[in-house]
């Protein structure tokens, strides 16, 4: 079988966005409602702009699925753009600071930023969310759960208590009208402060960024590898997350805070509880999870924690100074319809991008052409691990 991978195609105002997924095992029941739910969540969030009122994102499965189950061939997902006007969209010669406009125009030797911005647009992430949501059908088969949420918007920061039941955290995170008040934060007091911060910045014609986090629960140990640098799961997660539009940093576990602490306050001490030998931790216990579930590029049985910073959106209602590429005269940057804040949507994108990378590592570890093979390999691995020493 081939490695699980995907590519996307399509422009912001083209006819459609496409995700092509290869390497999915045959026999997996595809949850189409889950895919469309995640696409709808990506469109939501307090502070979103007018584009979200035009589009109603749903994924059409064009290949690779028969009677609701994967058949082992490439899967094509299509998300139609209602606002399709690529050929009629005007040229853009005044690049927006912080966007791909200038770099792309110089790369492709043109003074029209339109063709760069159409592909560089965060609209492309709809296809990435669809691909990640598809793989969650596989993760669900093994009780692996990915939970993404907003940790901070501007200076408004949340405190999330993971001793609470996951059902409560999800309910809190998803509370509020998706398009009028939702911010994707399980800390309701912080969520209110986030809405206030977004409202204030929107009134000034400015934009806000923030922090988003994803946690993966019930992931078995041994995914990823320390054998080669490009097989390390933390590196692969970082690359996938960093490639999301407008993300500027990625952290695993304690992240950058490890730099200021001695090792005795960073590394997670190991214990053993024979009563938990049949759990996914295989009986090994930790008092802390500063490593974020990854050591040496491999999962260690603890929850995986990935955190990322999203910068404020580059398109401002009160544009910053730029230069016209045709005349070289100083001018205000171009304005494209945009959002005041898309951090809530970014948490959905992060959640599904992380889901895809976990699924990819899972398929590599428990390789098989069908779900029957993968399940057998998974159960055999856990059985052998529980018998250590062999």
DSSP single-letter state for residue 276 = G
159-209 per-position pLDDT tens digit: 999 999 999 999 999 999 999 999 999 999 999 999 999 999 999 989 999
Q: Locate tokens 């759990």: which residue? A: 279
CA angle 177, 168, 39 (to 5 degrees): 45
Residue 2 confidence (pLDDT): 64
Q: What is the 3-state secondary structure (H, E, C) of 245-271?
A: CCEEEEEECCHHHHHHCCHHHCCCCEE
Confidence of residue 335 (pLDDT cuts 50, 70, 90): confident
Delineate the domains of the chain, giving CATH numbers in brackets: 5-386 (3.60.150.10)
Confidence of residue 314 (pLDDT cuts 50, 70, 90): confident
Residue 34 confidence (pLDDT): 97
Is there a cis peptide before residue 389, judged by omega within 30 degrees of 0?
Answer: yes
Higher pLDDT, 351 or 179: 351
Model confidence at 18: pLDDT above 80: yes
CA angle 82, 84, 88 (to 5 degrees): 150
Mean pLDDT of the chain: 95
DSSP single-letter state for residue 178 = T
Which phi and psi angles does 182 have, rounded to 5°?
A: -70, 135
Residue 346 confidence (pLDDT): 97
Residue 369 confidence (pLDDT): 96
State mean pLDDT over 372-389. Answer: 95
Residue 334 confidence (pLDDT): 85
Model confidence at 1: pLDDT above 60: no
Confidence of residue 317 (pLDDT cuts 50, 70, 90): confident
94-104 per-position pLDDT tens digit: 999 999 999 99
Residue 51 confidence (pLDDT): 64
State mean pLDDT over 249-255. Answer: 98
Q: Residue 179: is it exposed, middle or buried by C-beta count within 10 angstroms (0-12/13-18/19+)?
A: middle
Model confidence at 25: pLDDT above 90: yes
Residue 52 confidence (pLDDT): 67
Model confidence at 359: pLDDT above 90: yes
45-66 per-position pLDDT tens digit: 998 876 666 778 999 999 999 9
For residue 181 the two structure tokens come to 């008040």
Percent of the chain with pLDDT over 70: 98
Could you give the residue ranges of the DSSP H alpha helices within the chain? 32-43, 51-54, 101-107, 114-120, 125-141, 166-173, 188-203, 233-242, 343-365, 371-386
80-92 per-position pLDDT tens digit: 999 899 999 999 9
């Amino acid at each position: 079988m081939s490695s699980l991978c995907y590519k996307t195609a399509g422009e912001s105002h083209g006819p459609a966005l496409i995700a092509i997924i290869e390497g999915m095992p045959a026999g997996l029941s595809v949850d189409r409602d889950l895919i469309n739910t995640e696409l709808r969540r990506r469109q939501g969030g307090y502070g979103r702009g007018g584009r979200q009122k035009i589009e109603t994102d749903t994924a059409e499965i064009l290949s690779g699925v028969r009677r609701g189950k994967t058949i082992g061939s490439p899967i094509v997902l299509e998300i139609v753009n209602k606002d399709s006007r690529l050929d009629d969209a005007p040229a853009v010669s005044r690049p927006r600071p912080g966007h791909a406009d200038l770099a792309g125009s110089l790369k492709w030797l043109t003074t029209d930023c339109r063709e760069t911005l159409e592909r560089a647009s965060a609209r492309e992430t709809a296809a990435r969310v669809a691909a990640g949501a598809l793989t969650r059908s596989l993760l669900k088969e093994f009780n692996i759960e990915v939970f993404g949420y907003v940790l901070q918007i501007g200076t408004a920061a949340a405190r999330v208590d993971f001793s609470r039941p996951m059902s409560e955290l999800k309910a809190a995170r998803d509370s509020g009208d998706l398009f009028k008040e939702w911010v994707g934060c399980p800390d309701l007091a912080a969520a209110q402060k986030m809405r206030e911060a977004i409202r204030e910045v929107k009134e000034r014609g400015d934009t806000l960024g923030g922090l988003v986090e994803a946690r993966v629960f019930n992931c078995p140990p041994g995914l990823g590898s320390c054998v080669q640098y490009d097989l390390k799961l933390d590196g692969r997660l970082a690359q996938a997350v960093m490639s999301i539009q407008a993300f500027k940093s990625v952290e695993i576990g304690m992240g950058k805070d490890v730099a200021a602490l001695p090792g005795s306050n960073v590394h997670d001490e190991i214990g053993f509880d024979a009563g938990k030998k049949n759990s996914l931790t295989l009986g090994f216990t930790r008092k802390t999870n500063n490593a974020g579930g990854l050591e040496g590029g491999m999962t260690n049985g603890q929850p995986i924690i990935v955190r990322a910073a999203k910068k404020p959106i580059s398109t401002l209602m009160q544009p910053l100074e730029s230069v016209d590429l045709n005349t070289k005269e100083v001018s205000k940057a171009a304005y494209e319809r945009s959002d005041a804040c898309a951090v809530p949507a970014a948490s959905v994108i992060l959640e599904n991008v992380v889901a895809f990378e976990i699924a990819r590592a899972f398929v590599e570890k428990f390789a098989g052409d069908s779900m029957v093979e993968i399940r057998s390999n998974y159960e055999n691995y856990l059985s052998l691990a529980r018998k250590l020493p062999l």
